[in-house]
């Protein structure tokens, strides 16, 4: 279930802050895909619930109750987050667990930061 979508090669060398230098065209396309995954309230709450859940991962069954949409819709949003490289998942027996990918989140964060030192 992991790694079934393509990698995001551009992100391996990008991530100077936006304010430091103009974004290249290729990088902007990849980054826009990641931000698009964050551009829906349901997905944002899903990511937040997953990332803040005890143990750093959450079963889909833990997430469903918090939303007023159908289970298939949640599954769709989880897939969008996964294809954007923001979360990954694994089936364990009957249940599927999701966890956030900190590297991706921190890269987006450092891109938006306008102050202080930068890791990349």
Partner DNA sequence: GTGTTGCTTCGATGTCTGTCGATACAGCAC
Partner DNA sequence: GTGCTGTATCGACAGACATCGAAGCAACAC
Cβ-contact 90, 1 below 8 angstroms: yes
- The item of a second copy, DNA, none sharing an interface with residue 117, based on CB under 5 to 8 Å by kind, is none
Report the residue from 15, 51, 80, 81 that binds a second copy according to the rule CB under 8 A.
51
Strands, DSSP E only, in 1-120? 57-59, 87-92, 95-100
Which is closer to a second copy, CB of 30 or CB of 96?
A: 30
DSSP letters along 36-47, please?
Answer: HHTSSHHHHHHH
Cβ of residue 69: shortest distance to DNA, in angstroms? Answer: 3
Cβ-contact 112, 19 below 8 angstroms: no
Residues numbered 24 to 53 that lie near DNA (CB under 7 A) are 36, 39-40, 42
Instruction: Return the range that interacts with a second copy (CB under 8 A); candidates 3-11, 75-83, 87-95, 105-113.
Output: 105-113
First to last CA, the chain: 30
State the DSSP code for 22: P
Cβ-contact 34, 86 below 8 angstroms: yes
Report the residue from 11, 50, 86, 89 that binds DNA according to the rule CB under 7 A.
89
Cβ of residue 83: shortest distance to a second copy, in angstroms? Answer: 14
Interaction site with a second copy (CB under 8 A)? 18-23, 25, 28-29, 31-32, 35-36, 38-45, 47-49, 51-52, 66, 100, 102, 105-106, 108-115
């Amino acid at each position: 279930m992991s790694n079934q979508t393509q990698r995001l090669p551009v992100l391996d060398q990008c991530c100077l802050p936006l304010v430091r230098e103009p974004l290249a065209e290729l990088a902007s396309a990849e980054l826009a895909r990641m931000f698009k995954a964050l551009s829906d309230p349901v997905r944002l709450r899903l990511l937040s619930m997953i990332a803040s859940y005890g143990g750093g991962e959450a079963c889909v069954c833990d997430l469903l109750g918090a939303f007023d949409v159908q289970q298939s819709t949640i599954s769709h949003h989880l897939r969008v987050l996964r294809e954007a490289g923001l979360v990954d998942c694994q089936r364990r027996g009957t249940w599927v667990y999701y966890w956030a990918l900190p590297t991706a989140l921190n890269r987006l964060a450092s891109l938006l930061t306008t102050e202080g030192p930068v890791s990349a």
